């Protein structure tokens, strides 16, 4: 008899897991919150517990949900307000939400510790998200005292997951593993498409491309490389100025790691101020460009300098016809901070 009693108790007594599976169906538009709460209580079997003053001035609700979990409906209902809803047994507790805390950090390449620009961060519970800026930094706000499940992803890298309960401002860095499992595969076709970029008028070059372009007197240069592009011309042969689509040389905006550079000429205009050994990437906009730049009519040249290798030391040295160059990079504290030094010396004063 005891075995039968235990069997019926296990079958007919709902546990916490069944409570969590309660679903809600609502279709309301412009109704007061106090009229909606009884309907949620009826469908979920739970009772709301709150102080009446908490809901004063709450905006009218428009919500459509079909067989959605109770927790998700509560998040949609109160997620954008200063009220926090939590399910505890057969009660739904409504309390004033404490001040949000900030979760921030950097996203790096695990092998080189270079910051990853434009990496995606997504909080799986609240749906909040962010993307890293030009320095690999991200930040967003969440409610304190809750567990967050953060997911970081980037094209060409494996997705990383982190779970943590936070009570205050938190710094959380990610180190992503490259996901390349095969050697480079080149697929060639006969069809030629004239549109190569989603952003028209944008040219992106990296350090390897800049060094591969034929250079004046054997000296590679960022500005002289751009002078070979359609719509770009030099005012005087051999000089480093830029005249884009008929505009004047002073209508161009030059940025180095986000900081404006007002004078780009060295050695009487034969070279630009950008040492090719120190350049990491360069974006050149000669048509429409993002509104965050502003203030110029012809073009924008956004140069990102080398951040330095946090793993190992490396360097280069070269001797040319009219100048010599030297560069060195490596870790100061391994895996934490690095340095990058680039020098260039001309022979003009020795002639």
Mind listing the pLDDT tens digit for each residue in 178-227? 886 666 778 877 655 555 555 677 888 887 777 777 666 667 778 878 88
Q: Which residue, 42, 73, 96, sits at the end of a domain?
A: 96
Same domain, 214 and 260: yes
Q: Report yes or no: 103 and 150 within 8 Å, Cβ to Cβ.
A: yes
Instruction: State the total domains in the chain.
Output: 3
Residue 140 inside a domain? The answer is yes
Q: Does 122 score more than 80 pLDDT?
A: yes
Same domain, 73 and 152: no
Same domain, 167 and 139: yes
| 143: nearest Cα among 172, 120, 166, 111 | 166
Residue 6: what are its φ and ψ, rounded to 5°?
Answer: -65, -40
Q: Could you give the 3-state DSSP secondary structure of residue 181? A: coil
Same domain, 227 and 297: yes
Confidence of residue 46 (pLDDT cuts 50, 70, 90): very high
Residue 269 inside a domain? The answer is yes
| Whole-number percent of the chain with pLDDT over 70 | 83
Residue 346 inside a domain? The answer is no
Same domain, 291 and 210: yes
Domain CATH for 269: 2.170.130.10
Same domain, 82 and 125: no
Q: Which two tokens stand for residue 162?
A: 């982190």
Higher pLDDT, 40 or 8: 40
pLDDT at 160: 92
Residue 333 inside a domain? The answer is no
- The answer to which of 97-111, 145-159, 174-188 has the lowest mean pLDDT is 174-188
- Number of neighbours of residue 231 by Cβ within 10 angstroms: 14
Strands 23-31 and 61-69: antiparallel
Domain CATH for 105: 2.60.40.1120
Q: Give residue-wise pLDDT tens across range 168-180.
A: 888 899 999 988 6
Same domain, 13 and 81: yes
Q: What's the average model confidence in pLDDT over 266-274?
A: 72
Residue 217 inside a domain? The answer is yes
Q: Which residue bears the tokens 């507790």? A: 93
- The answer to which of 67-76, 93-102, 336-345 has the lowest mean pLDDT is 93-102
Same domain, 168 and 223: no
Same domain, 89 and 117: no
In sequence order, the β-bridge partners of residue 165 are 147
Q: Does 110 score more than 80 pLDDT?
A: yes
96: Cβ contacts below 8 Å, ≥ 6 apart: 54, 82, 83, 84
Same domain, 134 and 166: yes
Q: How far is CA 94 from CA 37, 77, 79, 87, 195, in A?
A: 11, 12, 12, 9, 54
Residue 252 inside a domain? The answer is yes
164 vs 146: CA distance, rounded Å: 8
Q: Which residue, 55, 73, 96, sits at the end of a domain?
A: 96
Higher pLDDT, 73 or 191: 73
164 vs 170: CA distance, rounded Å: 10
pLDDT at 8: 45
pLDDT at 19: 45
This model's pTM is above 0.75? no
Higher pLDDT, 230 or 153: 153
321 vs 87: CA distance, rounded Å: 75
348 vs 276: CA distance, rounded Å: 19
Residue 338, exposed/middle/buried by CB under 10 A (0-12, 13-18, 19+)? buried
Same domain, 76 and 142: no
Per this entry, what is the length of the chain?
Answer: 351
pLDDT at 1: 47
Same domain, 79 and 8: yes
Domain CATH for 31: 3.55.50.30
Compute the half-sphere exposure of residue 80: CA atoms within 13 Å on the CB side of its CA. Answer: 5
Q: Does 13 score more than 70 pLDDT?
A: no
220 vs 163: CA distance, rounded Å: 47
Q: Report yes or no: 144 and 100 within 8 Å, Cβ to Cβ.
A: yes
Q: What is the DSSP letter of 19?
A: H
Q: What is the DSSP letter of 256?
A: E
Residue 309 inside a domain? The answer is no
pLDDT at 196: 54
Residue 168 inside a domain? The answer is yes
pLDDT at 100: 77
What is the pLDDT of the chain when averaged over all its residues? Answer: 80
37 vs 23: CA distance, rounded Å: 14
Query: What domain range is 77 assigned to?
Result: 2-96
């Amino acid at each position: 008899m005891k075995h039968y009693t235990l069997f019926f108790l296990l079958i007919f007594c709902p546990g916490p897991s069944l409570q969590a599976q309660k679903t809600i169906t609502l279709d309301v538009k412009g109704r007061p919150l106090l009229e909606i709460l009884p309907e949620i209580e009826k469908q979920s079997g739970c009772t709301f517990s709150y102080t009446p003053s908490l809901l004063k001035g709450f905006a009218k609700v428009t919500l459509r949900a079909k067989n959605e979990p109770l927790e998700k409906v509560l998040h949609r209902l109160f997620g954008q307000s200063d009220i926090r809803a939590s399910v505890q047994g057969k009660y739904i507790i409504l309390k004033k939400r404490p001040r949000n805390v900030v979760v921030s950090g950097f996203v790096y390449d695990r092998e080189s510790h270079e910051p990853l620009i434009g990496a995606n961060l997504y909080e799986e519970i609240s749906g909040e998200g962010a993307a890293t800026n030009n320095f690999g930094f991200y930040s967003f706000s969440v409610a304190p005292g809750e567990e967050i499940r953060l997911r970081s992803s980037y094209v060409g890298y494996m997705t990383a997951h982190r779970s943590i309960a936070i009570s205050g401002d938190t710094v959380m860095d990610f180190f992503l593993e490259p996901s390349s499992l095969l050697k480079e595969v080149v697929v060639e076709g006969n069809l030629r498409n004239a549109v190569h970029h989603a952003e028209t008028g944008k040219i992106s070059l990296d350090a390897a491309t800049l060094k591969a372009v034929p250079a004046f007197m054997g000296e590679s240069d960022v500005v002289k490389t751009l002078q070979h592009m359609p719509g770009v011309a030099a005012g005087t042969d051999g000089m480093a100025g830029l005249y884009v689509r008929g505009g004047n040389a002073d209508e161009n905006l030059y940025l180095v790691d986000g900081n404006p550079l007002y004078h780009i000429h060295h050695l009487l205009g034969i070279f630009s101020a950008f040492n090719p050994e120190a350049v990491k990437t360069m974006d050149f906009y000669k048509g429409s460009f993002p509104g965050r730049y502003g203030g110029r009519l012809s073009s924008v040249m956004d140069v990102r300098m080398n951040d330095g290798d946090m793993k190992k030391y490396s360097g280069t040295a070269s001797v040319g016809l009219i100048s010599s160059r030297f560069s060195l990079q490596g870790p100061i504290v391994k895996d934490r901070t690095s340095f990058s030094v680039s020098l260039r010396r001309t022979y003009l004063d020795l002639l």
